[in-house]
Amino acid sequence: MAITKSAKKAHRQSLKRRKLNIVKRDGLKDLLKEINLLISQKKIDEAKKILPKVYKALDKTAKTGIIKRGRADRKKSRISKAINRAISQK
pTM: 0.85
Q: pLDDT by residue (tens digit) across 61-81?
A: 999 999 999 999 999 999 999
Whether 90 has a pLDDT exceeding 80, the answer reads no
In the prediction, which pLDDT does 89 show? 84
CB 47 within 8 A of CB 83: yes
Q: pLDDT by residue (tens digit) across 13-58?
A: 999 999 999 999 999 999 999 999 999 999 999 999 999 999 999 9
Alpha-carbon distance 39 to 87, whole Å?
10
In the prediction, which pLDDT does 59 show? 97
Q: pLDDT by residue (tens digit) across 8-25?
A: 999 999 999 999 999 999
CB 61 within 8 A of CB 75: no
**φ/ψ of residue 29, rounded to 5:** -60, -40
Alpha-carbon distance 90 to 85, whole Å?
9
Alpha-carbon distance 39 to 15, whole Å?
36
